Amino acid sequence: MSHSVTVSQPETMGSMFRSEEVALVQLFLPTAAAYTCVGQLGELGLVEFRDLNASVSAFQRRFTVDIRRCEELEKTFTFLQEQVQRAGLALPPPEGRLPAPPPRDLLRIQEETERLAQELRDVQGNRQALRTQLHQLQLHSAVLHQDQGPPLAAALTDGPSSERTPLLPPHEGPHQHLRVNFVAGAVEPHKAAALERLLWRACRGFLIASFRETERPLEDPLTGEPVTWMTFLISYWGEQIGQKIRKITDCFHCHTFPFLEEEAARQGALQQLQQQSQELQEVLRETEWFLSQVLGQVQQLLPPGQVQVCKMKAVYLALNQCSLSSTHKCLIAEAWCATQDLPTLQQALHSSSSEAGVSAVAHRIACRDMPPTLIRTNRFTASFQGIVDAYGVGCYQEVNPAPYTIITFPFLFAVMFGDVGHGLLMFLFALAMVLAENQPAVKTAQNEIWQTFFGGRYLLLLMGLFSVYTGFIYNECFSRATTIFSSGWSVAAMANQSGWSDTFLSQHPLLTLDPNVTGVFLGPYPFGIDPVWSLATNHLSFLNSFKMKMSVILGVTHMAFGVLLGVFNHVHFGQGHRLLLETLPELIFLLGLFGYLVFLVVYKWLRVSAAGAASAPSILIHFINMFLFSRSPTNRPLFAGQDQDEDKAGLLDSPGASEKGWSSDEEKAGCAGDEAAELAASEVLMHQAIHTIEFCLGCISNTASYLRLWALSLAHAQLSEVLWAMVMRVGLRMCGEVGVAAVALVPIFAAFAVMTVAILLVMEGLSAFLHALRLHWVEFQNKFYAGTGYKLSPFTFAIQEE
């Protein structure tokens, strides 16, 4: 379900039964044409290069210089991209096919990019300087503006006028001839209070300070955000006080400006400032326009440039993995290629090297290593192959469990999730995703949770579909049973024949139907579980027995199928002896014990009826006795001679188990390509003994593990039942006026719907998904699947083009 690179050539999709044949090819690339050849191979995405220079460090390889240049160019690209994004513009996606450019083009791209980057830096520097200047001017004019109210200290110098009464009594004596000076400036608002306090403490009584906010917020040159400043005007007298004040304002990083006492002079200065600021804004506008031009050029150049340089770097990295031939005339490369693609490979090499005199060739060589696994999938099978690969990629040409998983995984999920209503909701959700899968809005969504669900839409589709089917069999639709056919149990017959009068019924709150009474049980319900059980208080007694037996039957079938798939592996790898020494004992053990258990279950279903219900044999006790070679006298046999047969079966299975231990020592070859020297015979014997014990114990624990099918379906049914009984039924049972119930049902249904989706669909769905996955990964696949291979990851530009 992740966006892995798949070799997506749907027209040649082979069978998924086992991975494709992959060959090791040796490529001879003439030096002149090597770059174009590898570029062409990257476009096709056919081969995976092997690193022939593994012992050489990255700095000493042949094309390191070119890679460095590409990386420097990428750094410049990143810088340009940041600038474009900071300006709020979008980069258009590159259009058309852009092949990896020839090396001589790199210089041109590099020059253009450097030029644009330099221009961008210059223009932005200029703009910054202009904005800072403008900010200063604006601050200055705001400071000069702040003398709106009566200037307090000015009253002293202007002389008492009729309108202004001096607030300070004119001092006699030495103070009368002291000049009042002003300090005016601006400070950031959060420092204003501290500044005021400090001024007061330091120069107590010898100054008057007034603080005022600027009317409009000014644009901060660095961040571009509007910031209000506090302008202040301090009037003081005395030289030392003046020095102290200046030191304090410097400390607080305030901007101070000269404050002229004459009002007319101030007005003149203000006008000059305004003129300057207007001119500055004009220049700023021009700069911004030029900047947008440069950014437009960057927008055009950047996307194709990025793609091209990325491809070039990838080609050089691939070329670094090739070794030089002794004559220095051509590069030798080793690559894995699917046998099916060999003609295409040769065609591509031939066409890309036709300009150079010598053409590139490819020929197969033998290999001892295990080749990579290649399984071609389409968008439907990709998610199923994905969940198999998440556990382990298969060994080369091993049987692939994925085609069976397409059906068995949704089926086992549905066994644990069976409910018509919930299954239908899941199916519709998946259907909506599948029908909308080609819409661009859906494809480019970035949300990870959505990507996960969207990637598994076909999985969800099948899971929902099978859940509807198993929901019909379990006869559960939002926990309610349906009577599509009439029930096979007749309450009327029981009531009439047992004399259940009304008084009798009122005295007995619970009564059981007896199948021994004629006419009560009329035959098995033709499709699924009889609806009468959903009305019964003892329905779990029946359902538990049914579901446990169902789990064991499904489990044994699934595991036997897994063992049989191993046969294909043994035949393909030419290990026929393993058929006799592994598969046969495994089957005998599995079917002899658990196949016999399944037989007992089915036999009891068919032959033991209600007439003999009181003394019905217990399969469990019989099975335990079989293991212990003992008898229980109170437990009657299911069929004549059962005890003797069980003794024989028990005896047969022990040699079967031990036969596995003696599998021959041709095992040392392992799953193709094991380069280790001959393993000692004792090691092989140990390995086989472990495998035997593992299989025998595993059989028992794996069969028991399938009981989770019962457990989860029970949990789902009970949760569903509780939700209905506690939420919906409360609303439906409301008596009183019709209108009251109708109005109350709206929030009740809303709660029911939300909890159904959240608890039953999401939580239970994830839970059942996880357990079905575990059953596949562990119980099914450990019967035949090794999963220790690696995928063929071809050299391709497909990722870069995303």
Partner 1 sequence: MTAHSFALPVIIFTTFWGLIGIAGPWFVPKGPNRGVIITMLVATAVCCYLFWLIAILAQMNPLFGPQLKNETIWYVRFLWE
Contacting partner 1 within 513-552 (CB under 8 A): 513-515, 520-530, 532-533, 535-539, 541-542, 545-546, 549-550
Task: Estimate the crossing angle of helix 619-628 against helix 642-661, to 10 degrees.
Answer: 50
Q: Decide: is 607 part of the binding site for partner 1 (CB under 8 A).
A: yes
As a whole number of angstroms, the distance between CA 103 and CA 404 comes to: 49
- When binding is defined by CB under 8 A, the residue of 4, 8, 12, 271 that contacts partner 1 is 12
Q: Decide: is 512 part of the binding site for partner 1 (CB under 8 A).
A: yes
The residue (of 9 and 642) whose beta carbon lies closer to partner 1 is 9
**DSSP three-state, residue 226:** strand
**Hey, what long-range contacts does 643-650 have (CB within 8 A, 24 or more apart)?**
646/596, 646/622, 649/592, 649/593, 649/596, 650/626
Q: What is the DSSP string of 614-656?
A: GGPPPHHHHHHHHHHT---TTS--SSTTHHHHHHHHHHHHHHH
The residue (of 336 and 489) whose beta carbon lies closer to partner 1 is 489
As a whole number of angstroms, the distance between CA 459 and CA 383 comes to: 7
As a whole number of angstroms, the distance between CA 345 and CA 361 comes to: 9
Q: Decide: is 595 part of the binding site for partner 1 (CB under 8 A).
A: no
CB of 484 to partner 1, least distance (A): 12
Residues numbered 369-398 forming contacts with partner 1, rule: CB under 8 A:
378, 381
CB of 776 to partner 1, least distance (A): 13
Residues numbered 448-477 forming contacts with partner 1, rule: CB under 8 A:
469-470, 473
Q: Decide: is 500 part of the binding site for partner 1 (CB under 8 A).
A: yes
Q: Decide: is 17 part of the binding site for partner 1 (CB under 8 A).
A: yes
Contact 214, 229 (CB under 8 A): yes
The residue (of 557 and 664) whose beta carbon lies closer to partner 1 is 557
The residue (of 35 and 533) whose beta carbon lies closer to partner 1 is 533
Q: How many CA atoms lie within 13 A of 767 on its CB side?
A: 18
Q: Decide: is 495 part of the binding site for partner 1 (CB under 8 A).
A: yes
Q: For residue 628, what are the CA distances in angstroms to 636, 650, 655?
A: 17, 9, 16
As a whole number of angstroms, the distance between CA 578 and CA 572 comes to: 12
The residue (of 417 and 695) whose beta carbon lies closer to partner 1 is 417
Q: Decide: is 591 part of the binding site for partner 1 (CB under 8 A).
A: no
Contact 785, 405 (CB under 8 A): no
**DSSP three-state, residue 324:** strand
Contact 504, 481 (CB under 8 A): no
Q: Decide: is 609 part of the binding site for partner 1 (CB under 8 A).
A: yes
The residue (of 522 and 652) whose beta carbon lies closer to partner 1 is 522
The residue (of 521 and 784) whose beta carbon lies closer to partner 1 is 521
- When binding is defined by CB under 8 A, the residue of 200, 450, 485, 627 that contacts partner 1 is 485
Region of 495 (left: φ > 0; alpha: ψ -120 to 50; beta: rest) is alpha
CB of 423 to partner 1, least distance (A): 14
Residues numbered 668-727 forming contacts with partner 1, rule: CB under 8 A:
none
As a whole number of angstroms, the distance between CA 11 and CA 102 comes to: 31
- When binding is defined by CB under 8 A, the residue of 224, 509, 574, 641 that contacts partner 1 is 509
Q: Decide: is 406 part of the binding site for partner 1 (CB under 8 A).
A: yes
CB of 598 to partner 1, least distance (A): 10
The residue (of 17 and 629) whose beta carbon lies closer to partner 1 is 17
- When binding is defined by CB under 8 A, the residue of 301, 616, 707, 719 that contacts partner 1 is 616
Q: Which of 184, 140, 147, 183 is nearest to 276 (CA)?
A: 140
Residues numbered 409-428 forming contacts with partner 1, rule: CB under 8 A:
411, 415
CB of 619 to partner 1, least distance (A): 12
The two three-digit tokens of residue 70, written as one number: 């590409």
Contact pattern for partner 1 over residues 98 through 137, marking x by CB under 8 A: ----------------------------------------
- When binding is defined by CB under 8 A, the residue of 91, 491, 584, 672 that contacts partner 1 is 491
Q: Where does this chain touch partner 1 (CB under 8 A) — which range of 177-185, 360-368, 447-455, 600-608?
A: 600-608
As a whole number of angstroms, the distance between CA 734 and CA 749 comes to: 13
CB of 527 to partner 1, least distance (A): 7
CB of 708 to partner 1, least distance (A): 16
CB of 477 to partner 1, least distance (A): 16
Q: Where does this chain touch partner 1 (CB under 8 A) — which range of 43-51, 226-234, 299-307, 497-505?
A: 497-505
Residues numbered 237-296 forming contacts with partner 1, rule: CB under 8 A:
none
The residue (of 513 and 759) whose beta carbon lies closer to partner 1 is 513
CB of 550 to partner 1, least distance (A): 5
Strand-pairing partners, residue 227, are 218
Per-residue burial over 148-183, b if 16 or more Cβ lie within 10 Å, else e, is eeebbbbbbeeeeeeeeeeeeeeeeeeeeeeebbbb
- When binding is defined by CB under 8 A, the residue of 4, 5, 8, 15 that contacts partner 1 is 15
Q: Where does this chain touch partner 1 (CB under 8 A) — which range of 109-117, 344-352, 402-410, 737-745?
A: 402-410
The residue (of 99 and 637) whose beta carbon lies closer to partner 1 is 637
**DSSP three-state, residue 7:** coil
Q: What is the DSSP string of 406-474?
A: HHHHHHHHHHHH--HHHHHHHHHHHHHHHHTTT-HHHHT---HHHHHHHHTHHHHHHHHHHHHHHHHHH
Count residues contacting partner 1 (CB under 8 A)? Answer: 79
The residue (of 435 and 511) whose beta carbon lies closer to partner 1 is 511
CB of 114 to partner 1, least distance (A): 50
Q: Is the dihedral of CA 76, 293, 283, 229 positive or negative?
A: negative
Q: Which residues contact 674 (CB under 8 A, 6 or more apart)?
A: 668
CB of 732 to partner 1, least distance (A): 16
**DSSP three-state, residue 514:** coil
The two three-digit tokens of residue 568, written as one number: 């294909």
Contact pattern for partner 1 over residues 548 through 577, marking x by CB under 8 A: -xx--xx--x--------------------
Q: Decide: is 511 part of the binding site for partner 1 (CB under 8 A).
A: yes
Per-residue HEC secondary structure of 522-546 comes to CCCCCCCCCHHHHHCCCHHHHHHHH
The residue (of 380 and 790) whose beta carbon lies closer to partner 1 is 380
Region of 398 (left: φ > 0; alpha: ψ -120 to 50; beta: rest) is beta
The residue (of 605 and 629) whose beta carbon lies closer to partner 1 is 605
The residue (of 229 and 489) whose beta carbon lies closer to partner 1 is 489
The two three-digit tokens of residue 297, written as one number: 């050029």
Q: Which residues contact 779 (CB under 8 A, 6 or more apart)?
A: 555, 558, 559, 702, 705, 706
Q: Where does this chain touch partner 1 (CB under 8 A) — which range of 148-156, 387-395, 483-491, 686-694?
A: 483-491
The residue (of 36 and 408) whose beta carbon lies closer to partner 1 is 408
Contact 134, 284 (CB under 8 A): yes
CB of 394 to partner 1, least distance (A): 16
CB of 360 to partner 1, least distance (A): 30
Residues numbered 46-105 forming contacts with partner 1, rule: CB under 8 A:
none
Contact 23, 335 (CB under 8 A): no
Q: Where does this chain touch partner 1 (CB under 8 A) — which range of 5-13, 232-240, 268-276, 671-679?
A: 5-13
CB of 610 to partner 1, least distance (A): 6
